[in-house]
Amino acid sequence: MTILKMNPDEYSVSAEYGPLLINLVEKYGISEKTFLGGLQHVDTVDWRNPSARLPLHVFEQAVHRALELTKAPWLGWEFGASLNLSSHGFLGYAAMSSETLRDSLELAVKFLQTRGTVLELQLFVEGETAVIQVDELVALNDVAPFMIESFFSSLHFMGSHLMGETYLDGELRFAYPEPKYFEKMRPIIPVNVLFDCAYHQMRFPAHRLDQKLLFADPRLTRMAADQCEQELASIKSPPKLLGQVRRIILGEAGRFPSVEETASELHMSSRTLKRKLQQLGTSYQRIMDDLRKGLAVEYLTQTQRTVDEIAIQLGYSDASNFARAFRRWTKKSPSDYRR
């Protein structure tokens, strides 16, 4: 479980998601009393106040409790599918009433922190592919599968509702290893899914961004966006240190900087950087390894580069050192992984 030593108020999710998680757990035959009975400090949280915020450590407890009681490690997919547009407050209404999918997603990027200050959203286009990228503002570690899978699941079902379509053509990429349960789920996921990638991403044809939505209403969009602006102004945004560190590391074009070099770029000492990363539940070496692993997986699965070329691109002196590191990360050799 992530242990936050920084200001816990900076990392939170909307309290509206608490009752929705309870409702899902109840479908497994588990009462609200049983569910809440295993949570610490539950009396200090206003689960039924939609304008309240749940500290991340409380929501993490709830997720662990739900996974433990339901014995359903895929619960994140179900939770995301159970959410509708109104589950996301005024942001949901703003997204629903937007003119195009691009407009809807741009509002989500701008106002995501009204729903939680745990994730950051980016929208960009690579060639003919649109990319929705989700970055962790704090290392989610063992609750990352629930959080990221529920996010993408919710995005898929809401997008299908807004566009009047039930299919999804694209690809999902996750930055963590493939969960054991996913082997059984893979046949029912309608798109290609990759794990051990550099980033959490949903990728789809860019032309879909300009698709008109079914419930476009400019007046409602303006009203809902104004409410989102007010909510955003009242929320303290957490530092985006993890994203800054990742961008510096990847900005060196094949040369991976040391912690001292990255700290200097951020105008702090390496000791301070290490301490701040530890408070966020991670370390510089882990970020470096995760990025190298993710890039290696993408190069192996998406390009025809040789193992030697990939090793050089990732800053290894020779292919054997890269192969040892890759086997440590994935339990497979690069060649076996590619096959």
Structure confidence by residue, pLDDT tens digits, 122-138: 999 999 999 999 999 99
pLDDT of residue 5 exceeding 60: no
How confident is residue 4, by pLDDT bands cut at 50, 70 and 90? very low
How large is the average pLDDT for residues 149-154? 95
How confident is residue 217, by pLDDT bands cut at 50, 70 and 90? very high
Helix (H) / strand (E) containing 133: strand 129-136
Please, what are the domains in the chain? Answer: 8-233 (3.90.1520.10), 241-338 (1.10.10.60)
Higher-scoring residue by pLDDT: 93, 167: 93
pLDDT of residue 20 exceeding 50: yes
pLDDT computed for residue 82 by the predictor: 94
Higher-scoring residue by pLDDT: 53, 225: 225
Contact 138/4 with Cβ under 8 angstroms? yes
pLDDT computed for residue 7 by the predictor: 56
How large is the average pLDDT for residues 132-158? 94
pLDDT computed for residue 167 by the predictor: 58
Which is nearest to 212 in space by CA: 298, 97, 81, 339? 97
The secondary structure of residue 177, as a DSSP letter, is P
- Find all residues with CB under 8 Å of 37, minimum gap 6, and list them: none
Distance CA 210, CA 101 (A): 6
Distance CA 327, CA 182 (A): 21
Task: Label the pairing between strands 200-205 and 171-173.
Answer: antiparallel
Task: Please give the mean pLDDT across all residues of the chain.
Answer: 89
pLDDT of residue 52 exceeding 70: yes
pLDDT computed for residue 161 by the predictor: 86
How large is the average pLDDT for residues 36-55? 77
pLDDT of residue 190 exceeding 90: no
Distance CA 197, CA 256 (A): 17
pLDDT of residue 2 exceeding 50: no
How confident is residue 3, by pLDDT bands cut at 50, 70 and 90? very low
pLDDT of residue 40 exceeding 80: no
pLDDT of residue 49 exceeding 80: no
Helix (H) / strand (E) containing 13: strand 12-14
> What share of the chain in percent tops pLDDT 90?
63
Higher-scoring residue by pLDDT: 99, 159: 99
pLDDT of residue 145 exceeding 90: yes
Which is nearest to 153 in space by CA: 189, 114, 116? 189
Which is nearest to 118 in space by CA: 146, 79, 87? 146
How large is the average pLDDT for residues 278-307? 90
pLDDT computed for residue 254 by the predictor: 67
pLDDT computed for residue 46 by the predictor: 74
Which is nearest to 7 in space by CA: 287, 266, 284, 280? 280
pLDDT of residue 91 exceeding 60: yes
pLDDT computed for residue 44 by the predictor: 65
Distance CA 177, CA 217 (A): 41
How confident is residue 182, by pLDDT bands cut at 50, 70 and 90? very high
| 121's tokens | 């959203």
